[in-house]
Structure 1
C-alpha cells in the first residue's frame, strides 16, 4: 500500500475513528485502526467490539492495499504535522511496518495484519429512516445528562428510543433516567420509524454520535434491528450493539397531579443556585427551596464551611412549602431549557417534581427531592 493524502482530511477522519479505540486493550489488534486503500479512497475503521466507526476519504492511491496500525499513535503523529502538508503512507514489502512521511519528518509504525481485524457484522436491519442531524442532536442533548453510570442497573446506561402515539400524533421519543432524575424529549416520528422496536443506545455510542453531528444541516440515515443500530452520516458509518435489557416503565414515575406551579426566570434561577451551592459539600449538594407568595428563598447549609441564602422573585401563588434538591441535578436540567422561564410543578416535599420548558412541550424533566 502506498498513498498520499491531505493532512487536514486525514486528521479529521482519524479524529472521528480513533476515539472509539480504548486506551488499554488486552487484545492488541483492538488498539489499531484499519487502513484500506483502493480506487481513489482510503477507508479507516476502528472498533471496540461493541461500537465500530468507518469513514472514507479521498486519497491518491499509487498502490492499493490494507494494513492496521496503532490508532492513537497515528492520530498524534498526524496532529503534530504542519498545517497544509501532505502525508505519504507506505507499507514496506513484508507488511510488518508502515512509514508515515511528511516534509522532513518520517515515522515507522508497527503493523498487524488486516486479516486479524474484527468485523462487527451488522446482520439485517428491520427498520430504516432518515432524520435531520439537528433533530437527533436535540433528542440526545436534552436527555444525555440523565443517563445512569451505575453498572449494576446496566439497562439505564443509555438512552431509550421508541415511537409513541401522543395527542393523535406519532412521536419519536428519547428517555434517560438514573433513578434520581428523568429526561424525556420528543420529535415528530420520521417516516419509516413506525413500529420500530424500543431500543437502548449505550452511553459511549451516544457520546460519539454527538461529536459526529457537528454539521446540523446534514441528514442521518438510521437503521435499527433488535440487537444493533447503524448511523450513516456522509462518509461516516457507525454501527453499535444495543443494550440487551428492558427499560423500566418510565411513565409510572412522571407525576400527573402536581398542582403547585412555580414560574421563574431560568437564567436568574440558574445563577442563584450556582452561587449558593458554592458552599455545599460535594457529597450532599442539597439546596433548600422555600416557596411563599411570589418569593423563593434558596438556602444551603454546610456544617463544615457555613451557609448561604439568596432570594429570587418567582411566579407562585399556592401554599408556602419547602423542598430540597441536589444542586447539580437542578443545574443539569436548567441547562437544557431554551425558554426564558422554567416551570416547576410541585406536589409536596417528598414527591417528584416536574420541570417544563416555556419554549415548547417537546421536553419534560422529572426530579426527585432530597431531604434537607
Structure 2
C-alpha cells in the first residue's frame, strides 16, 4: 500500500474516527484504526462491536491496500506533523509515515482479525446539522452518568413525520426538545434509545454539516442507529430496556411562573452557590419584581443576591441544586427564561419546576425546549 494525503485533511479525519474509540478495551485490536486505500480514496474506520465511525477522504493512491494501526497513536502523530504532504508506505509488518523530514514507523495489527463494520440501513429521515446539535446539547445533559441503570444513560429519539423528539432523564430532571426533520415513510414512528455520549460526539462532528441522514433499524440480528453527513458516518447499537414514559410528566397548563433574564440567573446562581458544599441546594424566593437567591454553607459562609423577575401568580419559594439549574438554563437559547411552578399538596416540597425558552418578557416560548427539575425539600 502506498498513498499521499493532505496533512490537515488526514488529521481531521483520524481525529473524528478515534474520538469514538473505547477508552479501555480488553481486545487491543479494537483500539486500532483501519486504513483502506483504493482508487484515489482513503477510508478510515473504527469499530468496537458497539460503535463504528468511518471517514472517506481524497488521497493520491499509488498502490491500494488495507492496514490496521493504533488509532490513538496515529491521531497524535497526525496532529503534530509539519505542514507538508503525508506519505504512507507499507514495509512488511510496518507502516512508514513520512512528512517532510519527519518519519514514523508504526507496527501493524492483524487486519484479518478486525471485525467487519455494519452496513448502514435505509434512511429514516434527515435533519439539519444545526438543529441536531442544538437538540443534543439541550437534552443530553439530563441523561444519567450512572451505568447502574443503563436505560437512563441514553437519549430517546422518537420520529414523527415532520418532527423528531429528543428526551433524557436521570430521575431528578427531564429534558425534552422537538426538532424539525423530514421523515421517509418507513421512518415515521421509529424510536431509538441512543447512548448520550455517542450522540454528543456525533453532534460535535456533524453540527456544522448542512444535513444529517439518520437511519434506525430494529431486527432480530441488530438494533442500530446510523448517522451520515457528507463522507462521514457513525453507527451505534441501541440501548436495551424500556425508557420511562417521562413525557407525560410535563404539565400542559401552568398559571404560576416567572420570567427572568437568562444570563442574569446563570451568573447569580454561580456567584451565590460558591459558598455551598457539593450537592447542597440553593434557595430561590420568587415574588413580584424580584427573585432572591440565598445560600448557607458552613458556619462562616453565607451568600445572597436579588435579581429582577416578572412574576405571574402567587409568591413561591423553591430549593434547587445549582448545577442542575445551570444545566437547564444552558439549553435556553433566548434572552429570557420562563420558570414555571407546578402544583403540589405538600407546602414544604413544591412540584417540579419547568424551564423553557422565552424570547422576551411579553412573548411566549421561543422554541420547544423544556426542562423539568425536581426541587429539594425546603428547610424551614
Same fold judged by TM-score > 0.5?
yes
Does the aligned pair in 2 maintain the 1:100–1:106 contact within 8 Å? yes
Structure-2 residue corresponding to 1:86: 85
Alpha-carbon offset, residue 131 of structure 1: 1.6
Structure-2 residue corresponding to 1:62: 62
Structure-2 residue corresponding to 1:121: 118
* CA deviation string 1:211-269 (max 9, x = no partner): 212424x1111111121011111110111111112111112322345431111111211
Q: Does 1:153 align with 2:149?
A: yes
Q: Return the match for 1:199 from 188, 192, 200.
A: 192
Mapped to 2, the partners of 1:154 and 1:102 lie a distance apart of 44
Mapped to 2, the partners of 1:170 and 1:13 lie a distance apart of 32
Taking the TM superposition and a 5 Å limit, the aligned residue runs for 1:234-313 are 234-256=230-252, 258-284=254-280, 286-303=281-298, 305-313=300-308
Structure-2 residue corresponding to 1:230: 226
Taking the TM superposition and a 5 Å limit, the aligned residue runs for 1:171-182 are 171-182=163-174
Alpha-carbon offset, residue 133 of structure 1: 1.0
Two-structure CA RMSD over aligned residues (Å): 1.8
Structure-2 residue corresponding to 1:16: 16
Does the aligned pair in 2 maintain the 1:258–1:353 contact within 8 Å? no
Structure-2 residue corresponding to 1:4: 4
Taking the TM superposition and a 5 Å limit, the aligned residue runs for 1:340-359 are 340-346=335-341, 347=343, 349-359=349-359
Q: Does 1:338 align with 2:333?
A: yes
Q: Does 1:316 align with 2:311?
A: yes
Aligned length: 362
Tell me: CA distance 1:247–1:100, structure 2 relative to 1, closer, same or farther (3 Å).
same
Structure-2 residue corresponding to 1:104: 101
Mapped to 1, the partners of 2:367 and 2:102 lie a distance apart of 56
Q: Return the match for 1:186 from 174, 178, 183.
A: 178
Mapped to 2, the partners of 1:191 and 1:124 lie a distance apart of 15
Tell me: CA distance 1:305–1:77, structure 2 relative to 1, closer, same or farther (3 Å).
farther
* CA deviation string 1:314-354 (max 9, x = no partner): 11143332110000011111111122211111135431111
Task: Provide structure 2 residue ranges, at least 5 long, that are not aligned to the other structure.
Answer: 360-365
Mapped to 1, the partners of 2:147 and 2:88 lie a distance apart of 41
Does the aligned pair in 2 maintain the 1:352–1:367 contact within 8 Å? yes
Does the aligned pair in 2 maintain the 1:279–1:305 contact within 8 Å? no
Mapped to 2, the partners of 1:180 and 1:10 lie a distance apart of 43
Please state whether the residue corresponding to 1:151 is helix, strand or coil: coil
Mapped to 2, the partners of 1:13 and 1:189 lie a distance apart of 27
Does the aligned pair in 1 maintain the 2:126–2:181 contact within 8 Å? no
Tell me: CA distance 1:304–1:107, structure 2 relative to 1, closer, same or farther (3 Å).
farther
Does the aligned pair in 1 maintain the 2:128–2:181 contact within 8 Å? no
Mapped to 1, the partners of 2:51 and 2:206 lie a distance apart of 17
Tell me: CA distance 1:19–1:305, structure 2 relative to 1, closer, same or farther (3 Å).
farther
Does the aligned pair in 1 maintain the 2:292–2:306 contact within 8 Å? yes
Mapped to 2, the partners of 1:123 and 1:258 lie a distance apart of 44
Mapped to 1, the partners of 2:120 and 2:307 lie a distance apart of 56
Mapped to 2, the partners of 1:73 and 1:135 lie a distance apart of 33
Please state whether the residue corresponding to 1:283 is helix, strand or coil: coil
